[in-house]
Amino acid sequence: AGKEGARGASVQWREIAQEAGAVCIDNGSDFRLDPAIPLIVSEVNPEAVTSKSRFIASPNCSTIQLVMVLHPLHQAARIRRVVVSTYQSVSGWGVRAYEELLNQISQALKSLDKVSFDPTVFSRSMAFNCLPHIDKFTPDGYTKEEMKLVLETQKIMGDENIKISPTAVRVPVLVGHGESINIETENKLSASQAQEVLSATPGILLMDELNKDNPRHDPLERTYPASLDIGKPEYQDLVLVGRIREDSTLKNGLNL
Active site residues: 61, 177
As a whole number of angstroms, the distance between CA 32 and CA 25 comes to 11
**Long-range own/partner contacts, residues 129-135 (CB < 8 A, 24 or more apart):** 129/172, 130/87, 130/169, 130/170, 130/171, 130/172, 131/169, 131/170, 132/167, 132/168, 132/169, 132/170, 133/170, 134/86, 134/88, 134/92, 134/168, 134/169, 134/170, 135/5, 135/168
Question: What is the residue type of 243?
Answer: R
Instruction: Name the CA radius of gyration of the chain, rounded.
Output: 20
Other Cβ atoms less than 10 A from the Cβ of 212: the count is 8
As a whole number of angstroms, the distance between CA 10 and CA 204 comes to 30
As a whole number of angstroms, the distance between CA 48 and CA 40 comes to 7
